Amino acid sequence: MKLSFAILILAISAVATFSQTASNDPWPFPDRGKSKDDSQFVKEMLAKQHSAREKKEYEALIERGEAAVKLSHEIEEAYERSEELSEAGREKLEDFEKLVSKIRKDLGGDDDGEVTVDDKEIPKDVREGFLYLKRSTEQLASEIKRSTRFSVSILAIESSNTLIRLARFLRLNN
């Protein structure tokens, strides 16, 4: 009886061990069923995914640039109608500032504290400020389109810094 009980326990543990091995490792041989090409395949797939992600991010950057141009036109037109900004116009100016900040971040820039506006281009009054905002935003979008997803445009980063400062100035002084 003791011998049959010991054989029964041994058989149960052998079956349990085999079932765990079979469920965790479907290919019990040392090479695990993988060929040498599998690692190369994985590397290529990851590279393609990375490239697709970068392309998508670049397209989103271009779209943000176009959205910023559209917003700058709307803001300038709103100012031209009444020679001041309404509450809705101020909100658009805030949205514009956030959008350009996002563009700057996507370009890899940050607020460096330097003002890069040429003295000839400094707006003399608020009206010229809104016109300058529109022109500069168009230049920023153009610079983004000229760049590639593999390059960093210092000019675009500096333009975005200038636009953010100008938007803050116009929002506070109007």
Under 8 Å between Cβ of 100 and 163: yes
Q: Which two tokens stand for residue 62?
A: 């271009």
Under 8 Å between Cβ of 104 and 161: yes
> pLDDT tens digits, residue range 47-92?
999 999 999 999 999 999 999 999 999 999 988 888 888 888 899 9
Whether this prediction's pTM lies above 0.85 is answered by: no
> pLDDT tens digits, residue range 113-166?
555 555 456 677 888 889 999 999 999 999 999 888 788 788 889 999 999 999
> pLDDT tens digits, residue range 87-109?
888 999 999 999 999 999 998 88
Average pLDDT over residues 12-34: 58
Quote the CA–CA distance of 159 and 169 in Å, as a whole number.
15
